Copies of this chain bind each other. A is one copy, B any other.
Amino acid sequence: MALVTRRRNAGQISGESIVIEAAWMYYHDGLNQTEIAGQLGVSRATVVNYLQEAKTRGFIRISLSASAFTTHQLAQDLREKYNLTAAYVVPDGNGRDEDTLMRVARGAGEWLPSLLEPGDRLGVAWGRTIFEVAEALEHSQTGDVAGDITVSQLVGSMATPYGFTAEICSAHMAQRLGAKCINLHAPAVLSDPDLAARLRAEPIIRDQIEALSRCNKAIFAAGSCDHTSHVVSSGVASHADLDWYIAQGATGVLCGRFIDAKGRSIPGDLDARIIGVELDRLLNLDMGLLVSTGADKVAPMQAAIAGGYVTHVVTSSSTAAGMLAE
């Protein structure tokens, strides 16, 4: 264990760690490494080391300002067409969907903190996208967001083939935001309606579900409604279920519930077996942040927006273009 890092510190302007001093000179004063090396009395190479340490230690945060993504044409159009409070459109990059998803998640991760304020109770849904958003938060935030935020898990947990669960999504997000976390300690879907009812009645679960209705903000993704969708692969619905819902006009999936093109919840078999927020609860929130990308998400996103659950959107430019095409 290296206890005290023993560095030379001559020529410093303040007694602060020389790493900070160097980072300050570089990023704040705009000096170049040669000048800094001169003033600090070390070699340029050492200055490089200091700066890298500053980066890895998180002293330096480089992010693209939200305005860049919310002001440009696609975002504006999206906002107008769907009457949103704000939209955040990130470039697709190379065509790979995977990369685009990461970009969208990262964008959401950078934007989210600025959308929250002390006292907020944020509901967090589940899914690959949301998981990545939570991950992305880590890099952009150093844990100094305005405190006193509570994160609630919007839907029950699910054994997934993806290695991330609803708990992990909300727990990660809470951790990155420095927020308290209320998990929902129950499966997302049960095989038997009675069991589900009894579980919902359990005091612990009931309290947790009740906490959900106190959320004033929420973050969720729109799920698509085809047979490759996560709804099926994660076991929420069987292929048969899916076909039935599609026949009823299902256009997308929101927090485990099927919605039609107008965003209305489609009543069905599953409702009684699901443990999670009811879609009604997501209406009229201070913020409903929809994070999704992909051509197959265009219709589900439109449905979710039509349902009135959405005030803010994060997506990719091609998806945005798809939503704007008529």
Interface residues of A (CB under 8 A from B): 4, 8-10, 12-17, 20-21, 23-25, 27-29, 39, 54, 57-69, 71-76, 79, 86-95, 103, 106-107, 110-111, 114, 140, 142, 144, 314, 317-318, 321
Contacts and interface: CB of A to CB of B under 8 A. Distances in A.
B89 A14 contact: yes
A24 B106 CA distance: 11
Nearest to A111: B15
A288 B103 CA distance: 45
A288 to B, nearest CB: 16
B13 A91 contact: yes
Given A28-B106, A65-B142, A144-B67, A72 B17 contact: yes
Given A88-B14, A88-B16, A114 B9 contact: yes
A66 B142 CA distance: 9
A27 to B, nearest CB: 5
Given A16-B74, A75-B14, A79-B13, A24 B69 contact: yes
14 contacts: A8-B114, A13-B92, A14-B72, A14-B321, A15-B86, A15-B107, A16-B88, A16-B317, A17-B91, A20-B64, A20-B69, A21-B93, A23-B68, A67-B142
Contacts of A12: 86, 95, 114
Contacts of A79: 13-14
A290 B317 CA distance: 42
